[in-house]
Structure 1
């Protein structure tokens, strides 16, 4: 370890990327940045240990804000480290690299990596992985590839994280041959590919529209078995890609293949197939398909019918969607929060606000309200207020108070004004 002034690191050469944070600072982000910046000022030593104690959300915007302050106010940044002689460790470097990762500032991360030897420290695979990942996300695969090769020159070995990042990066820029070559070379590098590596390449192939090639690679995974066996995520990804391209029948064949391999589908797997069948007008086939997959035991009618209701709304078959949804409620099935939100919102859009409220009460009895979108409460309450349904509005307001549901900003003034005018206890919402 070397002793050196850490204040340098707060003066990273931030190439003024004119990001949105310079012109738009949300209050919550500003408060978080204030907390982190104040922490740096008051805790000059061992920031890698004390930083997690800050009770604030650390996101890219917040990180950029803090770094920008240190960059634009160099004198102030000196306050962050009152001692010139502070311990610089590999852990310190990793803190800085992770901040760059959070902020998605690639060049600054490379700069930190290049500074490591100046402190008589040695970069490790984790540090290289952070920088390589950033360049892959940026689409600069030349630099990412150079960094990966550089690892071998200092006796570091790319691990699974390195290779998966590179495979995904190559696919994202259309360099499919390089991605495939890397997968084949992994075994010779002492890092044999696994399900994650294969699945990453498989998804990249699908995104590029090479569906026959995807099926061939899937077959290779099935044949290889062991650590390369396709899992539910692998099959689901392929099915989703087929459905996105309108190839629903091919997606159904992949599902059959999945079940034959002994891998049970999840609700996420069947969602795109139900949607695809409905988009092609095959409603009856969708019902038959649901019966088939439910018989397999891995998904329920409640999950499948929730997906079907959502699909019916999507294709504007609103009467059928409403009929099926009410059938679910009558039979005691619990529809998911998304479809509950969609059905209430549809009634409000059609001007049937009171019907929306009564549907809301039915859903409450089944205990499904906790998953409803927060804005649905505001939309429903606003509609009830506009149509002067004071009794229903007050009941809903009281329920929202009990559940501590907040009003959404666009509706607050109108709703509060109505509740005050009504003189009901619901007007107490103004204090929340």
Structure 2
């Protein structure tokens, strides 16, 4: 009886939820219809008509209005979107900006924005800076630098003075398209109207200059930052350091790092700074020297993260410096970064470097020593053994992982691949063991492999095993 009551309560709860969802959907649809009606009443007083609507505005309602307008009235949809953004009880998310951009076809037909702004002007509508910043954010979502520049220039037509945020949006768009001279010209223009670039402005342009290899201009801009009372922080210096590593000598990068280490406050190097240096040395084939950067990082009180270790271990293994890689693991394994995890990263790095036998030997050594290989390392090694056709060895390794209690970390897809290969080679005894492990661990066979596995088992007379496999197909 108690079970029956539980089921009834669950059914009632689900029914209530379903009704609420339907009511929410109906209410949103009703609200959207209300807004659409007012949108189409009086072409010259759209915003005034919308102001009279007392219906609650939410993201779902906005999306529904946009979808309806997208068919043949994109300009009305755009005006509604801008109006909605200024409501005190509503705020568009970045996702909604992207949705509006795609629904209204702004990314395909940017002219729609200019046409709407012309309508604003022709109708004598009081246009505020907030409205135009909404339009700029749509340009940002469309990743249209030319459109962003046009909107910025049209602000004067509405007696709106762009602010720093407005300039930053356009500057970032220009930087993303590699138009650095124009981006820098806009920054200079800001000073002419008593606006001052902020940290966002400088970081955008400095990163763009570094990406373009214009390091002298980057250094010059950092000097300007100091003169303007906007002292550069570690983010700025890290961007410059990344550019130096990619476009200049690593010795220069080391000198710059030493300068940063002597600085005080926000200019001192952080985890990102040191990781950038490590990656820079590794990419230039100087992984052994990158170890010294790791030491400096640790000595400065910063704990190396996973990215730093992966970059360094990959580089050392590619350069056939396995002994040095082992020393890194022995030195830094434990404490903040568990030894098992760091050794597992080394196993993967060795495999990626083209040394599968060594990686297999290392993971078996981990198991023998009572260490816990990560799921990533275990899965990579087993999958590689299967791809080499060494299914017996792959099964043996899985068996060892199971006995050591580490099987749960292995990727489920590895079992399906191994099972398929064992069946293909008619190794049904081991295949049955793999299926047993999968059943116990609730691991499913990949649907793309299931049909061929079951068909092969049936044709081979292994009907019982085929039946067991069919029970764990996802």
TM class by shorter-chain length?
Answer: 0.7 to 0.9
- TM-score by length of structure 2 reads 0.68
2:337 maps to which of 299, 304, 307? 299
1:233 maps to which of 272, 279, 283? 272
1:366 maps to which of 406, 416, 426? 406
Question: What are the superposed Cα offsets for residues 238-291 of structure 1, whole Å, 9 maximum, x if unpaired?
Answer: 011111111123212222322333333233223333233322322223222321
The answer for the alignment partner of 2:284 in structure 1 is 245
Structure 1 residue 230: deviation in Å? 0.5
Q: Which moved more, 1:39-48 or 1:267-276?
A: 39-48
Distance in 1, matches of 2:408 and 2:158, equals 57
Distance in 2, matches of 1:345 and 1:205, equals 39
Q: Which moved more, 1:321-330 or 1:386-395?
A: 386-395
2:467 maps to which of 421, 424, 432? 424
Q: CA RMSD in A?
A: 4.0
Distance 1:69 1:101, change over 3 A: closer
Distance in 2, matches of 1:69 and 1:216, equals 45
Distance in 2, matches of 1:256 and 1:104, equals 41
Aligned length: 384
Distance 1:375 1:152, change over 3 A: farther
The answer for the alignment partner of 1:185 in structure 2 is 224
Matched, 1:319 2:362: no
The answer for the alignment partner of 1:221 in structure 2 is 260
Distance 1:417 1:260, change over 3 A: closer
Matched, 1:38 2:76: no
Specify every segment of 5 or more residues in structure 2 that has no aligned partner in the other structure, as ranges.
1-43, 48-62, 71-75
Distance in 2, matches of 1:258 and 1:91, equals 45
Residues 374 and 409 of structure 2 are in contact (CA less than 8 Å); yes or no, is this contact kept in structure 1?
Answer: no
Structure 1 residue 377: deviation in Å? 6.0
The answer for the alignment partner of 2:4 in structure 1 is none
Specify every segment of 5 or more residues in structure 1 that has no aligned partner in the other structure, as ranges.
7-33
Distance 1:242 1:87, change over 3 A: same
Match of 2:389, SS? coil
The answer for the alignment partner of 2:381 in structure 1 is 343
Q: Which moved more, 1:276-285 or 1:215-224?
A: 276-285
Residues 260 and 268 of structure 2 are in contact (CA less than 8 Å); yes or no, is this contact kept in structure 1?
Answer: yes
The answer for the alignment partner of 1:152 in structure 2 is 191
Matched, 1:280 2:323: no
Matched, 1:208 2:247: yes
Distance in 1, matches of 2:104 and 2:372, equals 46
Deviating runs (4+, > 6 A) in structure 1? Answer: 3-6, 84-87
Distance 1:426 1:85, change over 3 A: farther
Distance in 1, matches of 2:156 and 2:436, equals 66
Distance in 1, matches of 2:283 and 2:383, equals 26
Distance 1:72 1:165, change over 3 A: closer
Distance 1:397 1:113, change over 3 A: farther
Structure 1 residue 128: deviation in Å? 1.7
The answer for the alignment partner of 1:196 in structure 2 is 235
Match of 2:253, SS? helix
- TM-score by length of structure 1 reads 0.74
Question: What are the superposed Cα offsets for residues 126-146 of structure 1, whole Å, 9 maximum, x if unpaired?
Answer: 222122112112111011111
Question: What are the superposed Cα offsets for residues 118-173 of structure 1, whole Å, 9 maximum, x if unpaired?
Answer: 34433222222122112112111011111111222232211111101111111111
Structure 1 residue 178: deviation in Å? 0.4
The structure, 1 or 2, with the larger RCO (C-alpha pairs under 8 Å, 6+ apart) is 1
Matched, 1:140 2:169: no
Match of 1:424, SS? helix
Distance in 1, matches of 2:382 and 2:362, equals 14
Match of 1:415, SS? helix
Residues 381 and 415 of structure 1 are in contact (CA less than 8 Å); yes or no, is this contact kept in structure 2?
Answer: no
Structure 1 residue 332: deviation in Å? 4.9
Residues 381 and 397 of structure 1 are in contact (CA less than 8 Å); yes or no, is this contact kept in structure 2?
Answer: no
Distance 1:105 1:257, change over 3 A: same
Match of 1:67, SS? coil
Structure 1 residue 223: deviation in Å? 1.0
Structure 1 residue 89: deviation in Å? 4.9
Distance 1:321 1:139, change over 3 A: same
Matched, 1:67 2:105: yes
Residues 394 and 419 of structure 1 are in contact (CA less than 8 Å); yes or no, is this contact kept in structure 2?
Answer: no
Structure 1 residue 328: deviation in Å? 2.7
The answer for the alignment partner of 2:201 in structure 1 is 162
Distance in 2, matches of 1:346 and 1:368, equals 19
Residues 97 and 141 of structure 2 are in contact (CA less than 8 Å); yes or no, is this contact kept in structure 1?
Answer: no
The answer for the alignment partner of 2:328 in structure 1 is 289
Distance 1:125 1:218, change over 3 A: same
Structure 1 residue 51: deviation in Å? 4.6
